[in-house]
Structure 1
Amino acid sequence: MEEKKTRKKRKLGSYPFASVVFSITVALLVLGLFGWLLLHSSRLGTRIQESVEIQVYLNKNLSQSDITKIRTAITSKPYVLVKEEPQIRLITKEEAAKQFVEATGEDFKDFLGDNPLRDLFAVNLKGSYQSLDSLNLIKAEIEKFRGVFEVEYEESLIESINQNLTKIGFILLGIAIFALLVVIILINNTIKLALFSQRFLIRSMQLVGATSKFIQRPFLFRSMFYGLLAGILACGIIYGFTVYMNSIIEGLSELQDTKGFLMLFSLILIMGIIVGYFSSLRAIRKYLKMSLDELY
């Protein structure tokens, strides 16, 4: 019985299953959770950009037909944000006056005797058109439309948002590179330590004439399988974490998209397989080249 156990332990290509899978899962989970944070922060940044409106002021005394034509011309442009329908709304001068009175508590009609405000369209733009250069081109284009008086936007606010998002993007990119390196090192060391117990078996196979490819094959296949399994476990944990967070944070699900999660899960699975493969290959080649004294 004892002899069978010993043979089982020394089976070519085998090494501790639970500890290796657990360690790789934890490493991939760290990468996956950071990817999760990166996805949400990116979507949040885009939402903030898309919430900023440009104001298209219209000439006075336009007919309803002219106003409709201007709306149609604006909504046909590729830079207008679309969520089920184009994000453009008409604010009449009466509505604008009412908002002014509610905000300031003063009614300018009392001393002006008339409403000097203009009808306007509040337009939300896609996040990819939020640079100041793009906005200047959009402003120039819309102001050429017949019936448009002026186009305005909060340049300082948009510039501040873009600068802050750029800074955050660089910080997150740096952390992402660091996290990726940590994950690679963790998986590499885990597999290297797991293969340490197999170094004498590898040497024994060499002594009986086994080729390097024959010795490497079972280790590589098993490490790829462990990496895949660990990736699946990490993806499952991240999915459960996402469901839980959606249940306690209102509106979080609006920052999520299926495509982003599929890309994240694919990256985790590929990382598990590739890093597991090359870590095993590197460790095996190291033990194949060692002398007997070095193995001890």
Structure 2
Amino acid sequence: MATKVKHIKKKKLGNYPHTMVVFSISLALFVIGLFGLLLIHAGKLSDKVKESIEMQVYLDRNLTEVQLVRLQKTFEAKGYVAYQGSNAQVRFISKEDGAKAFLEETGEDFMEFLGDNPLRDAYVLRIDPEHSSSPELKSIKLDLEEVNGVYEVQYVESLIESINSNIQKISLVLLAFALILLLVVTILINNTIKLALYSQRFLIRSMQLVGGTSFFIQRPFLNRAAWQGIVSGFIASALLFALMQYAYHEVTELQLLRDDEQTYILMGALVVIGLIIGFMSSYRAIRKYLRLSLDELY
């Protein structure tokens, strides 16, 4: 009667269950990606708010058409005026248009009992977001008031100061959370890889006993850790992309805050972060097991 030979699969160096590791790293990177998307959309929202800052420049009365054209060219040449393509964001509102707008909003025709239009012609200047800080806006107001033909310059100063203050506070809070989250995720990935390598500690010692060099022992582990980080980064990026498409489909207003360039940079960063953290965590864990005595391995 033939004897059945049971083949035992030998354990290879660096061959440890990696599904759990990839899943854990992917999940951790996905959380980082979600927070990164929050930062991107918050920054885009901040830019949208800053892009809406306008100044109303009221003009002296009885200016000629030539003077009005000259004033518009003067305003368009200012470095703090926003541009959309090649067009300066400067628009003219006549006092007649202002009276019509007031009538449409309030339903009251003040010209009936005043007998005259007290409003002034005005230019509305949209300010470039790079010049949206409160000190710069005050400086811009003073600069515009010095232009010949300008009667008065107005903007909602208290609202702008409140917006800038809140944006600064929110940015600091989000940055602090991002640093804390990155630290927590790094510790989580590090512990996951250490646990995965724990089962290989005796194999590492066996390789040392038969004369394996540190580089020879570390190489398969580091190669696998690097690939795990890269694969996890791609998985996290794919999940993030799918979630984004779903969110944009369900909430169409989010399209206004979409920034594909920064999003792709974030996804690339997830791959790099996964590679670096996985590689370094594996390197530290292997170095630890290489230095332990036989008694300390138990």
Same fold (TM > 0.5): yes
Kept in 1, the 8 Å contact 2:40–2:259? The answer is no
Residue equivalent to 1:63: 64
The offset of 1:4, in angstroms, is 4.7
Decide whether aligned partners of structure 1 residues 83 and 250 sit closer, same or farther in structure 2, where only a CA change above 3 A counts.
Answer: farther
Is the counterpart of residue 167 in structure 1 residue 169 in structure 2?
yes
Q: Which residue of 2 aligns with 1:244?
A: 246
**Secondary structure at the counterpart of residue 252 of structure 2:** coil
Partner of residue 35, structure 2:
34
Alpha-carbon deviations, 1:34-74, whole Å to 9, x = none? 10111001111121122232111122222333323322322
Task: Give the % identical residues.
Answer: 49
Between the aligned partners of 1:110 and 1:63, the Cα distance in structure 2 is 26
1: CA distance, partners of 2:77 / 2:239: 43
Q: Which residue of 2 aligns with 1:265?
A: 267
Summarize the alignment of residues 1-296 of structure 1 with structure 2, pairs less than 5 Å apart: 3-5=7-9, 7=10, 10-84=11-85, 85-296=87-298
In structure 2, relative to structure 1, the CA distance for the partners of 1:251 and 1:76 (3 Å cut) is: farther
CA contact (8 A) 2:134 2:164 kept: no
1:91 is aligned with what amino acid? I
Which shows bigger deviation, 203-212 or 108-117? 108-117
Contact 2:193/2:281, CA 8 A, preserved across alignment: yes
Which segment is superposed worse, 196-205 or 99-108? 99-108
**Further displaced range: 177-186 or 258-267:** 258-267
TM-aligned CA deviation for residue 14 of structure 1: 2.0
In the aligned structure 1, how far is the partner of 2:36 from the partner of 2:54? 30
Match for 1:252: what amino acid? Answer: L
TM-score normalised by length of structure 1: 0.93
Shift of the 53–171 alpha-carbon distance from structure 1 to 2, 3 Å rule, reads: same
- Whether the 8 Å CA contact 2:61–2:120 is kept in 1: the answer is yes
Segments of structure 1 that go 5 or more residues without pairing to the other structure are none
Instruction: Please report how far the alpha carbon of residue 23 of structure 1 lies from its aligned counterpart in structure 2 after TM superposition.
Output: 0.7
Structure 2 counterpart SS, 1:251:
helix
**2:145/2:153 contact within 8 Å kept:** yes
Per-residue Cα deviation, 1:179-230 (whole angstroms, up to 9, x for no partner): 1111101111111111111111111111111111221111111101110110
Query: Contact 2:55–2:154 at 8 Å: present in 1 too?
Result: yes
Partner deviation per Cα, 1:216-251 (whole Å, 9 max, x = no partner) = 111111101110110011111111111111111123
Question: How many angstroms does 1:294 deviate by?
Answer: 1.3
Q: State the distance in 2 between where 1:72 and 1:233 align.
A: 53
* Post-superposition offset of 1:101: 2.5
TM-score (norm 2): 0.93
Cα distance between partner residues in 2 of 1:2 and 1:227: 36
Distance in 1 (CA, whole Å) between partners of 2:81 and 2:15 is: 58
CA distance in 2, matches of 1:47, 1:54: 16
Partner AA of 2:235 in structure 1:
L
> Is the partner of 1:142 in helix, strand or coil?
helix
Aligned length: 293
